[in-house]
Amino acid sequence: MTVIQKKATNPIAHLSAEDIETLGEELDAIRQRVIDSRGERDAAYIRKVISTQRKLEISSRVVLLFSLFPPAWIVGTAGLAVAKILENMEIGHNVLHGQWDWMRDPKIHSTSWEWDHATPAEQWKQSHNELHHRYTNVVGKDNDLGYGIMRVDEDQPWHPAYLGQPFYNFVNACFFEYGVAAYDLDLGTNLKEGRHKHPEFRAKLRAAGRKIRRQVLKDYVIHPLLSGPSFFHTMAATFTANLIRNLWSHSVIMCGHFPEGVETFEKTSIDGETRGEWYLRQMLGSANISGSRLMHIMTGNLSFQIEHHLFPDLPSNRYQEIAPEVRALFDRYGLKYVTGSLPRQVFSAWWKVIRLAFPNRRQPATPAVDDQPTPVLVAA
Partner 1 sequence: MPARGDHRRMTTTVPRPRASGSLRRRLWRLAETVTTPVLPGDYLDLVAPLRAGTDLRGRILAVRAETPDAATLLIRPGRGWRPHVPGQYVRLGVDVDGVRQWRAYSVTSRPGRHPEPISVTVKAIEDGVVSNHLVRRVRPGTIVQLDQAQGDFVLPDPSPARVLFLTAGSGITPVAGMLRSGVLAGSDVVLVHSAPTAADVVFGAELRHLAERGAIRLVERHTNVEGLLDVAELDVLVPDHLDRQTWACGPVGLLDAAEAHWSARGYAQRLHTERFRPTIITAGDGGTVTFTRSSVTVTAGGATPLLDAGENAGVLMPSGCRMGICFGCVLPLRQGAVRDLRNGELTTALPGDGVRVQTCVSAAAGPCELEI
Which residues of this chain interact with partner 1, rule CB under 8 A? 28, 32, 35, 38-44, 51, 54-55, 58, 61, 96-98, 101-107, 109-111, 114-116, 125-126, 129-130, 133-134, 211, 214-215, 217-218, 221-223, 225-226, 228, 231, 278, 312-313
Q: Which secondary structure element, helix H or strand E, spans residue 340, and what is its range?
A: strand 339-341
> Which residues have CB under 8 Å from 289's CB, separation 6+?
252, 255, 295, 299, 302, 303, 305, 339, 340, 341, 342, 345
277, amino acid identity:
E
**Shorter beta-carbon distance to partner 1: residue 170 or 231:** 231
278, amino acid identity:
W
Min dist CB 377 to partner 1, Å, is 36
**Shorter beta-carbon distance to partner 1: residue 41 or 198:** 41
**Shorter beta-carbon distance to partner 1: residue 205 or 212:** 212
**Shorter beta-carbon distance to partner 1: residue 110 or 360:** 110
Transcribe 84-145 into DSSP letters. Answer: HHHIIIIIIIHHHTTTTGGG--TTS-TTT---SSSS-HHHHIIIIIIIITTSTTBTTT-TTT
**Shorter beta-carbon distance to partner 1: residue 39 or 334:** 39
> Which residues have CB under 8 Å from 296's CB, separation 6+?
303, 304, 320
Min dist CB 231 to partner 1, Å, is 7
Task: Identify the burial level of 75 via C-beta atoms within 10 angstroms of its C-beta, where 0-12 means exposed, 13-18 middle and 19 or more buried.
Answer: middle
Min dist CB 36 to partner 1, Å, is 9
Q: What are phi and psi of 37, to 5 degrees?
A: -105, 5
* Torsion from C-alpha of 111, 115, 120, 126, nearest 10 degrees: -50
Min dist CB 358 to partner 1, Å, is 35
Min dist CB 228 to partner 1, Å, is 7
Min dist CB 127 to partner 1, Å, is 10
**Shorter beta-carbon distance to partner 1: residue 261 or 321:** 321
Degrees, nearest 5: CA angle 178-184-186 = 105
Min dist CB 285 to partner 1, Å, is 14
**Shorter beta-carbon distance to partner 1: residue 125 or 352:** 125
Min dist CB 121 to partner 1, Å, is 8
SS3 state of residue 180? helix
**Shorter beta-carbon distance to partner 1: residue 251 or 301:** 301
353, amino acid identity:
V
Residue 52 Rama label (left phi>0; alpha psi -120 to 50; beta): alpha
